[in-house]
Amino acid sequence: MRTEELPERIRTGRPLLLDGALGTELERAHVPMALPLWTSRALLDAPGVVERIHRRYTEAGAEILTAGTFRTQRRTLASAGLPDLAEELTRTAVALARRAAAGVNAAAHTGPPLVAGSASPLEDCYRPDLAPARAVLEQEHREHAQHLDAAGVDLILVETMNSAIEARAAAEAAAETGLPFLVSFACREGSGETGRRENGALLSGEPLSTGIEAVRDRGPLAVLVNCTPPSALDACLATLGESGLPFGCYPNLGAPRADGLPSEPQSPEAFATLATGWVARGAALVGGCCGTGPEHVRALAAALTPSTTSSSTISSTRPK
């Protein structure tokens, strides 16, 4: 299957397998991950390690690799005194994922993975109150989306969105490129801003449904939830399912503790078992966020691949 056939695969095909965490694997490799640069520091200091991590996810069976562009926006780099490296580091991140995708003999049921460009909140993922004004959100997300497009991604993954207003701005920017895109929200289980129990709430306190409605008319291929532990995910699946849009999820393993370990550890096998339940509820895309690694993706691939594998493949139509 070619990139332009991705919408049909998401709507009617077997579940699409995303990769797992990049930052977690960099930490495991003892690559410095200090804020504000986080994973983008590795693009400068350890690009070979980044490429190896992408390669391991490809070998595990991931069908979409998310390039390490989570923190390559000009705003983040400016806070570290590197504002002029935004486009260059975005290109570097995409090139590393592309090389990893092309350099591995993927599992029999897939071709080389597609490469998604990550578009994250401009400020702290867990502090929606720090987001800049709407006009700034629109301008800076537009620039980042243009950088992703110029770098040659196959699709844009607007992810870890913590408020409806920023999700809208990032989705509009992605749509303007003409590339296919996904929108994923960071949620918590609990009461929304109305004070009543919601089926998942954004970190801003808005209902998840509000975030979905904010991006619906921009035409995302699917809406997802990520950076949310499995214990809170079930509360979101009902809203995702009721949206009428294709949906998916790639949860984390809980918030990191002081020792850096996740608060909801799951073995790869246990994580895969949970994922089969998400698929049974209609999830068309599954993968992992913080705390997951290639072995989690490998277990997902084994759990979600039918015994008689399809011969269809996904291949990029973008230049390598």
How far the first Cα of the chain sits from its last, in Å, is 17
Is residue 144 a part of any domain in this protein?
A: yes
Instruction: Please provide residue 202's backbone torsions phi and psi, each rounded to the nearest 5 degrees.
Output: -65, 165
Is residue 136 a part of any domain in this protein?
A: yes
Domain harbouring 77, CATH code? 3.20.20.330
Are residues 119 and 91 in contact, defined by beta-carbon separation less than 8 angstroms?
Answer: no
Range of the domain at 128: 17-304
Is residue 2 a part of any domain in this protein?
A: no
What is residue 262's predicted lDDT score, i.e. its pLDDT? Answer: 54
For 119, the 3-state DSSP assignment is strand
Is residue 5 a part of any domain in this protein?
A: no
Is residue 79 a part of any domain in this protein?
A: yes
What is residue 189's predicted lDDT score, i.e. its pLDDT? Answer: 58
Q: Give the start-end residues of each E strand in the chain.
A: 16-17, 64-67, 114-119, 155-161, 181-191, 197-202, 222-226, 247-250, 285-286
Is residue 171 a part of any domain in this protein?
A: yes
Is residue 310 a part of any domain in this protein?
A: no
User: In the chain, how many domains are there?
Assistant: 1
pLDDT by residue, tens only, the chain of 320 residues: 578 889 999 998 889 999 999 999 999 999 988 888 999 999 999 999 999 999 999 999 999 999 999 999 999 999 999 999 999 999 999 999 999 999 765 444 457 999 999 999 999 998 999 999 999 999 999 999 999 999 999 999 999 999 999 999 999 999 999 999 999 999 975 544 443 344 689 999 999 999 999 999 999 999 999 999 898 888 899 999 999 999 999 999 866 555 555 577 899 999 999 999 999 999 999 999 999 999 999 999 999 987 533 434 455 554 44
Is residue 8 a part of any domain in this protein?
A: no
What is residue 312's predicted lDDT score, i.e. its pLDDT? Answer: 42
What is residue 51's predicted lDDT score, i.e. its pLDDT? Answer: 98
| Residues ≥6 apart with Cβ < 8 Å to 173 | 119, 138, 141, 142, 144, 145, 146
